[in-house]
Amino acid sequence: MFNYNQWYVVATQKSVKKKPIAITVLKTPLVLFKVDGEFVVLEDRCPHKNAPLSLGHIKNNRLVCGYHGWSFKKDGELENIPSQNSVFRCGVKSYKTQVYNGLIWVFMNPEMEPSKNLALTKFSASFKQMTFFNKMKSNADLILENALDCTHTAFLHDGLFRASSSLEKSSSTIIQDKNSLSVRTHEVNPSNSLAMKFLGKGDVNHVDTYLPPNTMNITYEKGFLTNTTQLHATPIDERNSLVFTTVHIKAPLFISSVICWFLRPIILVVIRQDKKILEAQTKCIATFGKRHFRSVKADLASNTFFSMYQKVHEGEEIIKKAQRTIEYNL
């Protein structure tokens, strides 16, 4: 169940060097490389003997197959066959790309002209950015739901992010429209965790937003600090995902750099903890054969997300608008 008529993150800009890179997205083998300052994505299969083009090399701004030397332009058109002096009409599928916030996006339907618009924040130079990449043996929707679900943080990340010993009544307003699902939460002076103590006293406002098809946007505001994390979970297949996390910090003067220095090791630990539980959750679901979730009131946002995610990937238009406020312990 994948929607191919969408943009997906496939790599960071900095990860693309001189050699072609093999990437599988939505069960589709792709080859990523850079020529003439442009990121290019083609189908990873030479039409000659079906060897992966990612095993080839770049020469004169052309992708050369490592098996028999056939070379291809950036639009996928065949240009040269070394074993003969002529070529015929032949090529490989070419996919549209764009770069946004240091990440390379690919539109997964090569037969369709996509919209260039991405419903994402374009961060200015006033934000300090940290980028993290992982491969996870987990379903993309479970990874995204984990980012939306605040109630796990006091237990899985106990003492780092929130604390299980100091749960307080909180309320969240869940807003759904055809383009997004947002959860707006206000927390009164949360301080019993390493991250919150560092940021000082004060209330926290945060907004968690699902942006189809596979992005979660998480913004926290506390005092002078604005912290926006964008999580992109790109499916490799039904049970494996590429996960890109960009953290954007805005604070006065040099304080952003200090906060990044402090938060980086915490974020790495949190990601490891999430990865471990998500991979175990996915394995457990596979062992029992299907999902069987028993939900409580605090799961309303998660259940709304799962429903919306399924509709997005089935190509169904989201028409329903809804708003609801819930109270729970956080």
Q: What is the pLDDT along the chain (330 residues), one digit of tens a residue?
A: 799 999 999 999 999 998 999 999 999 999 999 998 899 999 999 999 999 999 999 999 999 999 999 999 999 999 999 999 999 989 999 999 999 989 999 999 999 998 767 767 677 777 889 999 999 999 999 999 999 999 999 999 998 888 888 888 889 999 999 889 999 998 877 767 777 766 667 788 889 999 999 999 999 887 777 889 999 999 999 999 999 999 998 877 678 888 888 889 999 999 999 999 999 999 999 999 999 999 999 999 999 999 999 999 999 888 778 999 999 998
CA distance 153 to 167: 11
CB 190 within 8 Å of CB 162: yes
How many CB atoms neighbour CB 89 within 10 A?
A: 6
Q: Could you confirm whether domain 128-329 is CATH 3.90.380.10? A: yes
CA distance 71 to 66: 9
Its pTM stands at: 0.94
Q: What CATH number was assigned to the domain covering residues 7-107?
A: 2.102.10.10
CB 147 within 8 Å of CB 208: yes
Structure tokens at 197: 């103590």
SS3 content of the chain, % helix, strand, coil (to 5): 25, 35, 40
Closest C-alpha among 219, 153, 213, 127 to residue 182: 219
The domains of the chain are located at 7-107, 128-329
Domain 7-107 and domain 128-329 have a common topology: no
Report the interhelical angle of 255-288 vs 140-148 (nearest 10°).
130
CA distance 45 to 94: 12
